[in-house]
Amino acid sequence: MSNSFKIAVSSTDLSALKSRIESATFPDELDDAGWAYGVPLTDMKRLVARWRDGFDWRQEELKLNNELPQFTQDIEVDGFGSLNVHYVHKKSDRGAGIPLLFVHGWPGSFLESRKIIPLLTKGSGDSQCPVFDVVAISLPGFGFSEAPKKKGFSLSQYVEVSHKLMIALGYTEYVTQGGDLGSRVTAGIARRYGGMHSKAWHTNVLFSMPPENDDPSSYTASEKEGLARWQEFQRSGSGYFQLHSTKPQTLGYSLADSPVGLLAWIYEKLVSWSDNYPWTDDEVLTWVSIYWFSRAGPAASIRFYYEVAHSGQALGTKSSPPTIPMGCSLFPKELIRIPKSWYPGVGDVVFEAEHDKGGHFAAHEQPELLVGDLRKMFGKVARHFLRDVYSSLSVSSFTFFYCLQAKNDGV
Amino acid sequence: MSSYKIDIPPTALSTLKSRLENAVFPDELEDSEWAYGAPLADIKRLVARWRDGFDWRHEEQKLNAELPQFTRDIEVDGFGTLNIHYVHKKSERGLGIPLLFVHGWPGSFLESRKIVPLLTAGSGDARLPVFDVVALSLPGFGFSEGPKKTGFSFTQYAEVSHKLMLALGYTEYVTQGGDWGASITKEIARRYGGEHSKAWHINLILAGPPETQDPSSYTAIEKDGLARLQEYKRSGNGYYRIQATKPQTLGYSLADSPVGLLAWIYEKLVNWTDAYLWTDDEVLTWVSIYWFSRAGPAASLRIYYEVERAGQGIGRTSDSHIPTTPLGFSHFPKELGRIPKAWYHLVGNVVFEVEHDSGGHFAAHEKPELLVGDLQKMFGKSGPAFGVVLGRNGYDG
């Protein structure tokens, strides 16, 4: 049963944070270090000063509560008991929207749905444009969801809890959108619940291993550049990944005790993973505050990496791709881009869009582009193609599909 | 040159206490023990002790009483003058062999504490050589100044170490190093070997692999050593990867949270030792050196970045110039890893080698008698490096 939820950080927590920031101790910095060694000191000092005086959490909290209808409900996860899950749920403005589950990653959160929700639920004014019912979950251990207490809560469990949430909301059939870890979760949903429940999935991060007869000489220039960026990421940008995957608790003491440390840890990714996105200080601080004030604390969120690495589901582990229709949106500053020849290892790509701007946090950086892609993929334009795909499915899904058409027609 | 006594200002002590009093802890998964990192119960207990009970002034006094310390300015090409902190204790009898002890991370000059008295003792067996010991705080560690510019790597660490020995009047000397100290003393042997560095001894031996290998020829111990290295790379080098790529980002945490710093270092103190029975005060003294360090804890991480950028990191497979200076090894079973004998030529000219059946990465701290025993054998009258330093062979006259 769902309960209405409003973010309401206690004043004790707010003053504790302020007090903590007031006593912040900064390291020095090498001359001309720039961004090479990590976040520059001037950025940090400026952000911390703003966080201390000026940044108004209560105002941000109010805006969030006004924009995003939030709820919590208990979801049972096999072997882990009941977890209280926080989520955003906004229905479409007209008709019955396509149920869309949005799954964030790290260092993301439900906040990443903020800009796309109004576009997805309102539509464009054009009756041809599909509208959606959007569910943006806070994954267990993130945002205002409870975290698991036991070891081993890995992809399977994230998949299970996400699916069960949709079912609990009455969406026996739905589609998904995910980036970062959310891409892995939605791939898992597509694999386990695809066909019967998950009807199609869309992602902005594609990862797969090269196929057996891979021919690197056939790669396009942008595919080569994409792979080179991935290699550079592994060489110089994946330290956090290795650490999260092996000693999350050791790092967790720092992230839990130092808001400055947490800010640096996240801010570095917000900047280096986005495409010249003009982050405002308050935007960054709102983002990081979600982590600081999260129900389970910032240390909990990074365990996801450890669990995945230790459950035989690490990146690069071979697994059969989902068979349901898949869409992808390629943004140039995403961390990885695989050659088209690797796509069969990812899924059945029926929709692909390539953009010339945008990075890892697509829903936040380029909401119109991402939503535009989702509208195209699920809209009438694709209907004809999707019909062929669906023709082989059961009557119930067929009915669902025609219902979709009817709902859109009847607008 | 100035005499030095550690004397942390009272404001620093009270700030630390205040920080510890306001510490915020994460939760922990049930039954996670050491798998995810340092356990919560350990960290809470240590923080409680650090906050109430641990007496830094008392530890400081002991250190000052045991270890004669000094500072002096050393010029480093391209980096200006750095004020270097070091321990310097002369042998109590005879002509001590000048020995430079070089620490690594998360070590410090503190690691020389137990071996200094053993190496310099006048009262021991007269058949054993004695040493003059110099244990420097590497720039950016302990009470030495840190470099202000980018690019301070092995070349510079070797230069400052060598210049310190020269400044102390030791034109010829020998070295002992573990962790980064092993690489730095290798660089010293490479640059200053023959004329100045007359022999070097290390307890972390990593190089290779060579162009061609024959794994079937490896002994069981060698296979185990390589396996430990593989495991380290698989599950134990997250700290290395982050320190080598984004030390500044991590530095904000370690500079602002003594709890975070404690966990960061304590995890290595336990994981890298061989069932060593750390007392809480021992750990806290060790970590306090980092917390109260002159350059701050973030500075000490940069060596990883600089070394990797210079192409000299742990993944480096070949050296352009292997030093010919006589080299000694001490193998401790719980070291991070170990390479086969077949790869030794990539490290140096091995003239002395000892196997131990206990001890880990922090050999000088865990097994001071064993390490000193090895040095006494290597440099003693019947050892392969006897008399390498002209006029100072560790005996009388």
Lowest pLDDT segment from A271-285, A369-383, B172-186, B282-296? A369-383
Q: Residue B344 pLDDT > 60, yes or no? A: yes
pLDDT confidence band for A265 (50 / 70 / 90): very high
The C-alpha atoms of residue A117 and residue A102 are separated, in whole angstroms, by: 10
Give the C-alpha separation, B178 to B135, whole Å. Answer: 12
Instruction: Show me where the domains of chain B are located.
Output: 1-19+36-387
Q: Which residues of A touch B243 (CB under 8 A)?
A: 239
Question: Which pLDDT score, from 0 to 100, does residue B208 have?
Answer: 81
Residue B170 DSSP label: -
DSSP bridge partners of A88 = A70, A136
The helix (H) or strand (E) run that includes residue B116 is helix B115-120
Annotation says A409 is catalytic? no
Q: Which CATH superfamily is domain A63-219+317-409 in?
A: Alpha/Beta hydrolase fold, catalytic domain (3.40.50.1820)
Torsion of CA B26, B29, B30, B32, to 10 degrees: -100
Residues ≥6 apart with Cβ < 8 Å to A289 = A57, A60
Domain extents in chain A: 2-60+254-308, 63-219+317-409
Inspect the interface and report whether the beta carbons of B242 and A243 lie closer than 8 Å.
yes
Instruction: List pLDDT tens digits, range B211-223.
Output: 899 999 999 999 9
d(CA A8, CA A356): 39
Contact at CB, B260 and A297, closer than 8 angstroms: no
Strand-pairing partners, residue A354, are: A330
| Residue B131 burial (CB count, 10 A) | 29
pLDDT band at A394 (very low <50, low <70, confident <90, very high): very low
Closest CA to A38 of B304, B310, B259: B304
Instruction: Tell me the ipTM for this assembly.
Output: 0.96
| CB distance B100 to B178 below 8 Å | no
B35, B243, B248 member nearest A39 (Cβ)? B248
pLDDT at A5 over 90: yes
**Spatial separation of the C-alpha atoms in residues A116 and A368, rounded to whole Å:** 7
Name which of B32, B43, B239 is nearest A253 (Cβ-Cβ). Answer: B43
Q: Number of CB pairs < 8 Å for A and B?
A: 195
Looking at beta carbons, which residues of chain A come within 8 Å of B238? 239, 242-247
Which tokens sit at B366? 């865990």
Q: How far is A255 from chain B (nearest CA, A)?
A: 7
- What pLDDT sits at residue B397? 63
Could you tell me where the beta strands, DSSP code E, fall in A23-118?
Answer: 70-77, 81-90, 98-103
Catalytic residue among A180, A282, A348, A373: A180
Reported as type and span, the H/E element at residue B326 is strand B326-331
Q: How far is A86 from chain B (nearest CA, A)?
A: 19
Instruction: Name the least confident of A200-209, B44-53, B374-383.
Output: A200-209
As its CATH architecture, domain B1-19+36-387 has: 3-Layer(aba) Sandwich (3.40)
Whole-number Cα distances in Å, B56 to B15, B21, B29: 13, 16, 33
Chain B CB contacts of A15 under 8 Å are none
Yes or no, beta carbons of B29 and A149 under 8 Å apart: yes
pLDDT tens digits, residue range B23-35?
A: 999 999 999 999 9
Band of residue A391 on the pLDDT scale cut at 50, 70, 90: very low
Closest CA of chain A from B253, distance in Å = 4
- Return d(Cα A194, Cα A323) in angstroms, integer: 7
The answer to whether the Cβ–Cβ distance between B254 and A254 falls below 8 Å is yes
Mean pLDDT of B171-181: 98
Question: Tell me, what's the pLDDT at A408?
Answer: 37
